[in-house]
Amino acid sequence: MSDRPDTPAVDSAQREPTASPPTASPPIASRPTGWRSGSPGLVLWAGTATVSGLGDSVQAFALSWEASGFGPAAAATVATLGILPRVLLMLLGGVAADRYGIRRVMIICDGCMIIVLGCAVGYLSAVPVSLAVIIAISMLAGAISAFYLPAAGGFLRLFVPTDQLPRVMARVSGLQQVARLIGPSLGAVLVIMVGLRGVSMINLVSFAAIMMVLSLVRPPISLRATDPGAAGQGADGTGGPPRGIRSVVADLATGVGQAARTPGMRAALGSLALVAGGVLPMLYLCLPLAVRERQWGVTAAGTIESCWIVGTLAVTLVVAKVGVHHRTGLMIVLGPLVAAVGVTLIAVAPTVPIAGVGAVLMGVGTAVYTGHLSPLFLVWTPPALTARFQSLFGIVQAAPMLVMNPFFGLAATAVNATAALAAAAVSCLAASAVALSSARLRTSDATVGTA
């Protein structure tokens, strides 16, 4: 989601707006609490979302592994084309969720994924896996995720008051990290046993389950608009009737403009772009290529990726238990530094266990960073613009990969996978520098969910 900003050369007070962001009306409860809108409904959704996340993790591993079998250039092409629709459409997805409702958009997207995966299963029953099939699945899934992710990023806010967000986000994230921990290893086993067709069938079932649960639950919080023309959310997150006064372009401009005017937000998004540009291509492109180059085998690829999840899960569980560190800005600066050390260790690792240790460090650094940035980002977000801000949050994670995936693929082809991993470490180091450049970001103290 956007161009990567340069690291500021002067103090952030000279580069950032000094005006404070407008105070948004807080979310309000608007219906009696029943099992579908209270804690049981939240637990049901979180549990099913974990199962669905497991299906996604297995599918992502299967696609990246099958693509890497066609060579570095093909793997980079698949990764890039899978991200492209998300970058192009995610801002529109944020507008759709704010206009028509977070929960409604999520249900529609789940239905679309069921259709895509059903077609993939049917097609792969008749023909072998080809690069064209992998690209088609990746691009269609990317287009659907462009609408799903901004809505999903704000869904928890429909259940949880702002002061409880960090801990609840950490608990839900912890469940999802467990799924991601299991996913790569399970994906390696399933690729061998049932192939891409079987993995797609499993993921189809997981999407059907989460679609059913979303149809049942009724989130109790309404995101009240901050101005008469802003998007309205119903109590269950289904949204109000579409407005004819503001165009889609105007709604896009409102979200982007408000983010640009919020002090510290540019540095937060810039550092996030650099972390994503280093960590995500490293996991889904550089790591499979390095494993093949070193002839460690598919099981090693799944094991190393699982080690990354171990690191992220450990930090996530700590945050869920005691809350975020009170020096939020310091953690946002330090997290990418730890991740850079981990990536460097993977780059020079002569054996799988050493690479696994590097992956754990990378996971710790990534989780420290995102575990403190994500709730801070939501706290800085006006409620009526929740999905649009989440779309920006997603775009700056996806857009750098359009540049970094081809770059890393070229580096791996021209030199080796180790060179691509070294570049990923440099990207993480740059993220710390960008975060450090913003006075508001680096000095942020947690005001919610602390120990």
Query: Confidence band (pLDDT; 50, 70, 90) for 36?
Result: low
Q: Please check the confidence at residue 405 and state whether its pLDDT lies above 80.
A: no
Of 317, 18, 26, give the one whose Cα is nearest residue 162.
26
d(CA 159, CA 139): 31
Q: How far is CA 21 from CA 79, 226, 369, 375, in A?
A: 37, 12, 23, 17
User: Is residue 227 in a domain?
Assistant: yes
pLDDT of residue 357: 94
**Left, alpha or beta for 450 (phi > 0: left; psi -120 to 50: alpha)?**
beta
User: Is residue 212 in a domain?
Assistant: yes
User: Is residue 449 in a domain?
Assistant: no
More confident: 26 or 396: 396
Q: Please check the confidence at residue 121 and state whether its pLDDT lies above 90.
A: yes
pLDDT of residue 192: 86
Q: How many residues does the chain have?
A: 451
- DSSP track, 21-55: PPPPPPPEE-S---TTTSHHHHHHHHHHHHHHHHH
More confident: 105 or 174: 105
CATH for 302: 1.20.1250.20
User: Is residue 18 in a domain?
Assistant: no
Q: Are 270 and 4 in contact (CB under 8 A)?
A: yes
Domain membership of residue 251 as a residue range: 30-232+246-442
Phi then psi for 229, rounded to 5 degrees?
-95, 0
pLDDT of residue 17: 40
Query: Confidence band (pLDDT; 50, 70, 90) for 24?
Result: very low
d(CA 138, CA 136): 5
Section 9-15 average pLDDT: 36
Q: Please check the confidence at residue 20 and state whether its pLDDT lies above 70.
A: no
Q: Please check the confidence at residue 127 and state whether its pLDDT lies above 70.
A: yes
Least confident of 9-13, 155-159, 197-201, 369-373: 9-13
Section 182-211 average pLDDT: 88
Q: Please check the confidence at residue 372 and state whether its pLDDT lies above 50.
A: yes
Section 268-294 average pLDDT: 86
> How confident is the prediction for the chain on average, in pLDDT?
80
d(CA 400, CA 404): 6
pLDDT of residue 446: 57
- Cβ atoms within 10 Å, residue 353: 12
More confident: 329 or 240: 329
The number of domains in the chain is: 1
Section 136-141 average pLDDT: 94
Q: Please check the confidence at residue 23 and state whether its pLDDT lies above 60.
A: no
pLDDT digits (tens, 9 = 90+) for 290-314: 888 888 887 888 888 888 888 988 8
Coil, helix or strand for 450?
Answer: strand
pLDDT of residue 186: 84
Least confident of 12-21, 33-42, 223-232: 12-21
Of 256, 244, 238, 237, give the one whose Cα is nearest residue 385.
256
pLDDT of residue 243: 52
% the chain with pLDDT above 70 = 83
Structure tokens at 366: 């990534």
Q: Are 83 and 277 in contact (CB under 8 A)?
A: no
User: Is residue 4 in a domain?
Assistant: no
pLDDT of residue 448: 43
Coil, helix or strand for 161?
Answer: coil
More confident: 442 or 338: 338
Give burial (CB, 10 Å; 0-12/13-18/19+) of 314: middle
pLDDT of residue 322: 79
pLDDT of residue 449: 38
pLDDT of residue 369: 92
